[in-house]
Amino acid sequence: MPRCTRKGCGQDYNPADNDASSCTYHSGAPVFHEGLKSWSCCSDVNKPVLEFEEFMKLPGCMVSSHTDEAPKVPAPAPKVSSNVNVTLKETKDGAEVYSSNAPKVASPKPSSPTPVEAPVVEDEDDLSVPVTVGTICKRKGCGVAFVSDEVNRIGDGNEAVCTYHPAAPIFHEGSKGYLCCKRRVLEFDEFLKIEGCKNGRHVFVPKQRTEPQPEQLTDCRIDHYQTPKEVHVSVFARQADKEKSTVTIEENQVHFDLCLPGSKRFCRTVTLFGPVETDGSSYKFYNTKVEVVLKKLDTRSWTLLEKTTRDLGNISLTFGVGGRTGTIGGKDLVLDEQNTNRVN
């Protein structure tokens, strides 16, 4: 079957069924300006888009019958030379000779090299999803219409081979082409005819893939309070995954490796101010935080949570209070032996 050559159509059609309303196309020319892509005939209806795939999906604004005639290319206007310098030369015999010298034109500056893009991750066809007859292959530059699974998807014939462009199109100063091959053209119709540079399988229904996000280290706030026998540590890591996260309690250190939503991770090792009993210590995951209870090996007061080499002088922390919510709203004072004797 012939293929329609009107801009924005490109469908295969049956001449017997071709009527005055079969083809929807664009009568104008494509417009590429500062990354935006549109058609000159309907830019007020179809707003400019950024992606080339979205540009190719813009619906046509004219209705007519299909045609396979090659689009007419306007003849280039004749170039008129300007600023011609006419010089007069006199020969030895006294004859006057006139000559014209074209003005010197500065050589154009070398164009900047084409930017190198990151490696292209190509789509794969999802063979488990049925395809409607007539669906066009999604690969750039292919344009093959789906007939059946045996012909286009699982067969080994020529109809199952896809010739396409794996990289994105590039439009620069009027030239058009693809990053994966060197050919460049000026006319948009010629650009659509650039043959693919790679062979593979057709993609009618791309597989849904979840691209893994790079893991990002983050920081979490840590608070603590103490009693004569325990130190309560709160790590405010919201919605930490308790199946993937780990908390390792040692006598002088606590290791946190918490997996958070959005591919974020909190990793930190806290060197403790004093020793703790590993068997008597514990931790628990909550929706908004991770709570760690460290059992002291002695009843001395911890000046800080983390051990430091700085001289802190006479700075010391008072013990917290017990009660339903720990230090906030507690009812019963928790004192060490020295302070208990003072109160009594």
The residue whose two tokens read 């190198």 is: 116
What pLDDT score was predicted for residue 85? 56
Give which of 145, 149, 185 is closest to 169, Cα–Cα: 185
Q: Are strands 264-271 and 216-217 parallel, antiparallel or unpaired?
A: parallel
Hey, what are 214's tokens? 């790079």
For 173-184, letters b (16+ CB in 10 Å) and e give eeebbbbbbeeb
Distance CA 244, CA 233 (A): 20
What pLDDT score was predicted for residue 327? 44
Phi and psi of 150, rounded to 5°? -65, -35
Distance CA 49, CA 32 (A): 10
What pLDDT score was predicted for residue 285? 95
Distance CA 27, CA 132 (A): 29
286-336 pLDDT tens trace:
999 999 999 999 888 888 899 887 665 555 555 554 444 444 444 455 555
Distance CA 216, CA 237 (A): 14
In degrees, rounded to 5, the angle at the alpha carbon of residue 92 between the alpha carbons of residues 87 and 95 is 55
Distance CA 161, CA 323 (A): 74
166-197 pLDDT tens trace:
888 888 878 888 888 888 888 888 888 888 89
**pLDDT band of 5, cuts 50, 70, 90:** confident
| Residue-range domains of the chain with CATH | 3-64 (4.10.1130.20), 135-201 (4.10.1130.20), 216-296 (2.60.40.790)
Q: Exposed/middle/buried for 237, CB within 10 Å: 0-12, 13-18, 19+?
A: buried
Question: Are 19 and 65 spatial neighbours (Cβ–Cβ below 8 Å)?
Answer: yes
The stretch 121-146 carries a mean pLDDT of 88
71-121 pLDDT tens trace:
665 555 555 555 555 555 555 555 555 555 555 555 555 555 554 445 667
> How does the average pLDDT of the chain come out, rounded?
79
Helix (H), strand (E) counts: the chain = 4, 21
- Residue 13 CA: distances (Å) to CA of 2, 23, 56, 140, 157: 6, 9, 19, 21, 23
Q: What is the CA radius of gyration of the chain?
A: 38
Distance CA 178, CA 218 (A): 40
